[in-house]
Amino acid sequence: MEHQRCYIYEPQDTDERPAKRQRTSKTDSKGPQSERLATFRQLWHQQEKRIQASLDEVDKATQDQLVQFVSEAPTTSAACIPTGLVIAGPSIASHGPFFEHLGRRITDETDCTHVVLTGSESPNLKTLLKNLITKITSRTEEDDDLEIATTTRSGGPKLLNFDLAHVHRWQSKGRVKSIVVTIRDSEAFDSNVLVEMIDLFHSWLDRLPFVLLFGISTSAESFEDRLSGKSLRQLDGQKFDVTQSDEIVEKLFRATTASTEVQLQMGPNLMRRILDRQKDHVQNIQDYSDGIKYASMSHFFANHTSIFLQPDLSFRALDAHAFEAVRNLPSFRRRAEEMLDEGSTQEVRNMLDSDQFLFDLIIEEIRQGQQALHALNGAAVVLADIRRFLQMSPSVPLSSIWIRAASGELIGSPLLRETMLSIRKIPSNKLAQLLLALRGDSAITNYVDLTTYEDQLVELINSTDTTEPLRSQHDVRNESMRTTVVAQKVLLSKHKAALSEQDKAYSELIGNFHDNLERYFAEAFIDPRALFLSEILIYDLKSPHADAFQPRPRFAIERALASPQDYLGSESCGVDSDEGALSISQPATALVYQLYLESGPLINISDLWTAFSSMCGQEGNDGESKTMALFQRALAELKLLGLLKPTKKKTDHVAKMMWKGL
């Protein structure tokens, strides 16, 4: 089997028994886990809906425009090919889904056919046309192949398979209004191919109603630079901007992590990691939601206590393990110790002894904890909204505000203080708008009574007769600088201008609002990790996540070879005896690798062999051939791993290809 290339697995009879026994032994512990996984699916389903909704919303505007553009494109007798330049941003991973979605909408909503061409399948004009023709003509009925064959036989000269006359014949039956050709990754196309294609399409334009869409990762200008003046004249372009992936990620973040509906909260460290990766490497929405999904999967797969996140959980569905697990949580211990300090020993005893008591407590605490976390999320959103509304610089995205809030760093931070200061300074017209804007946030309306402030403000504004907005006492315009020279020294002094009655009243109003808001933030921005049962509510582990998404295969291989005791255990590799020295009980490949590390860019195999055989050579002819076999195997493995390469510089030498840790 091992040398067969592809085959369907067939079990060997001998294997069957132990495998089965293993499976049955595991089933008893499987019960609660499948329960947890069901909970996961239930919760993730909601999350997925939120993600999908925000994604649809994001692309909707652009796609609407594009669909409209396509449907309104002039069908024939146009001088130029109608062209849409879709600036889709640098993240090529999101282009595919975008155009796929767009294509579905175009075919569904308009009377057009849609074809996507990619750079890899169009190395030259001929292949491009072949692909285009097969894609267009096989789009509808099945008998197309037949049809082409028959028509070629009956009508005139035989057509080559890259002749657009095929499309013309197909189109002549009045199938579609226009043919939309999408060049998905225009940067991947050779510019000559593009120029030739445009030229050809233009010459067919009186017969075939083409509409071109170019997916552009850079900018419309650089795309134009690649085309000749002639082909530019043949195009009638319009630009469409697609929402960039970092904006989408911000929106998704708002919908998923910072939402006030999530059951399982992601931790700040994990989110920071995911967002950083997003920024630095992938820029791909799919990957972002995968990251969050995998985090919840890990939580429910491995954490016994995660079962308590199941909505409407009944006491009887649980087994004792879950309670035992909760009693071992650090936050449980912390709570118990606190309660002992307070002297409520009976309750602690109950918590330890009675599962039913603990169950009620957990359910209640989880409800409260979730509320607190939702309040935190809401407050982070409010803060981000206020900052955006006031156009404060630097503009801090919601994600970073949230991460700081969730790490409990926001209270007393310059960011919050600065925001609060600028709130005290806003004039009345802006305040009215701000209050209006904040109304949408349910998180704040529960704490701060916005309507009373609005009423007061309206009253105040009505009572004034000027159209000038009211200003608070902290506004800079109400202050003036005065310089006086006393005994050859310059003194600077601030003077408050005299406030009008209305301004005074306004200052009081805004002072109240400010205090109210401050109280709200102080209440909401707790340190979530200090919450009781935070281990259930928050998932913030780095280890499986980092490995699963950002593997370091080179490091893993180097580590396995350089210090095999990490994997095989130290006693079998005999390392502890002598620090730093090579131990002969390590695997042969590891030994050769460590010798390899010590050598220069060229390695003499003969000397390497001498070193190796002197280290772990065995006596006798038989022993030597055994050592040689190990040595040869080690060399072959290093070659497979790409660490060694044959060289012609010297006989019996090999070239070193990798330096450890680079």
Partner 1 sequence: MVSAKRKRADEEPETSTPRKLRNRTLADDELEVSDVQTPSRRARGRLNEDGTPRSILKKSGIRNGILATTPKSNRRLVFETPSKPAIQDTPNGTPVIVRNADRSARRKSNRKLIERAINGADSDEEDLEEEQLLAQQILSDDEDSEESTDEAGVRDEEDIAEPETPSKRGRGRQKGTIKKLGRPRKKRSPSPLQDLPPHEEYFWQNRPGGAKTSNNALPSQSILNHDEYFQAMQTYADPHRPEKEFLLELHGRAFDQWLFEFQEGFNICCYGYGSKRPITDKFAAHIYQRLSTTTPYKNSKKTPKVVIINGYAAGTTIKEVLTTVASTITSSHTKLPNKPTALLSYILDCLTENPPPHPVPIIINSIDSPYLRKGLNPSLLASLAAHPSINLLCTADTPNFPLMWDVGLKAQYRFLFHDATTFASYDAEIDVVESVNELLGRSGKRIGGRDGVAFVLKSLPENARNLFRILVTEQLALLLMDGADGDPDEPSTLRRSKATSSNKDTSGDSSQGIEYRVLYHKAVEDFVCSGEVAFRTLLKEFHDHQMIESRKDAMGTERLWVPFRLEDLEGLAEDLCEDAS
State which of positions 615-654 bind partner 1 (CB under 8 A): 622, 625-626, 628-630, 632-633, 635-637, 639-642, 644-646, 648-654
Q: Choose which of 229, 440, 600, 620 interacts with partner 1 (CB under 8 A).
A: 600
Q: How far is the CB of 372 from partner 1 (least distance, A)?
A: 29
Quick one: which of 256, 189, 186, 182 has its CA closest to 223?
186
Are 384 and 437 in contact, with CB atoms under 8 Å apart? Answer: no
Query: Measured from the CB atom, is 6 or 320 closer to partner 1?
Result: 6
In whole angstroms, give the CA distance from residue 214 to residue 240: 10
Q: What is the dihedral of CA 421, 423, 425, 426, to 10 degrees?
A: 160
- By CB under 8 A, the residues from 473 to 532 that bind partner 1 are none
| 572 contacts partner 1 (rule: CB under 8 A) | yes
| 11 contacts partner 1 (rule: CB under 8 A) | yes
Residue with tokens 């900052």: 387
* Number of Cβ atoms within 10 Å of the Cβ of 48: 15
Residue with tokens 């305040």: 431
| 292 contacts partner 1 (rule: CB under 8 A) | no
Query: Measured from the CB atom, is 279 or 281 closer to partner 1?
Result: 281
Which span sits near partner 1 by CB under 8 A: 465-473, 502-510, 518-526, 557-565? 557-565
Q: How far is the CB of 569 from partner 1 (least distance, A)?
A: 5
DSSP SS3 for 524: helix
Per-residue exposure over 267-281, b if at least 16 CB sit within 10 Å of its own CB, e if not: bbebbbbbbebbeee
| 19 contacts partner 1 (rule: CB under 8 A) | yes
- By CB under 8 A, the residues from 263 to 282 that bind partner 1 are 281-282
| 5 contacts partner 1 (rule: CB under 8 A) | yes
C-alpha torsion sign, points 391, 394, 395, 397: negative
Q: Choose which of 564, 592, 596, 617 interacts with partner 1 (CB under 8 A).
A: 564
Q: How far is the CB of 219 from partner 1 (least distance, A)?
A: 19
Residue 380, phi then psi, degrees to nearest 5: -65, -40
Residue type, 209: P
* Number of Cβ atoms within 10 Å of the Cβ of 189: 22
Are 417 and 383 in contact, with CB atoms under 8 Å apart? Answer: no
| 585 contacts partner 1 (rule: CB under 8 A) | yes
Residue 491, phi then psi, degrees to nearest 5: -110, 130
- By CB under 8 A, the residues from 83 to 142 that bind partner 1 are 91-96, 120-121
Q: Choose which of 561, 575, 591, 592 interacts with partner 1 (CB under 8 A).
A: 561
| 558 contacts partner 1 (rule: CB under 8 A) | yes
Q: How far is the CB of 547 from partner 1 (least distance, A)?
A: 6
| 334 contacts partner 1 (rule: CB under 8 A) | no
Which span sits near partner 1 by CB under 8 A: 12-20, 362-370, 401-409, 467-475? 12-20
**Size of the residue set binding partner 1 (CB under 8 A):** 96
Q: What is the dihedral of CA 509, 515, 521, 523, to 10 degrees?
A: -130
**Length of the chain in terms of residues written:** 662
| 3 contacts partner 1 (rule: CB under 8 A) | yes
Q: Choose which of 8, 476, 485, 490 interacts with partner 1 (CB under 8 A).
A: 8
Q: Choose which of 460, 505, 560, 582 interacts with partner 1 (CB under 8 A).
A: 560
| 20 contacts partner 1 (rule: CB under 8 A) | yes
In whole angstroms, give the CA distance from residue 423 to residue 386: 9
DSSP SS3 for 240: strand
Query: Measured from the CB atom, is 465 or 622 closer to partner 1?
Result: 622
Query: Measured from the CB atom, is 376 or 644 closer to partner 1?
Result: 644
Q: Choose which of 123, 141, 542, 567 interacts with partner 1 (CB under 8 A).
A: 567
C-alpha torsion sign, points 406, 407, 413, 418: negative
Q: Choose which of 130, 293, 327, 424 interacts with partner 1 (CB under 8 A).
A: 293
In whole angstroms, give the CA distance from residue 210 to residue 270: 48
Query: Measured from the CB atom, is 321 or 552 closer to partner 1?
Result: 552
In whole angstroms, give the CA distance from residue 398 to residue 379: 11
| 157 contacts partner 1 (rule: CB under 8 A) | no
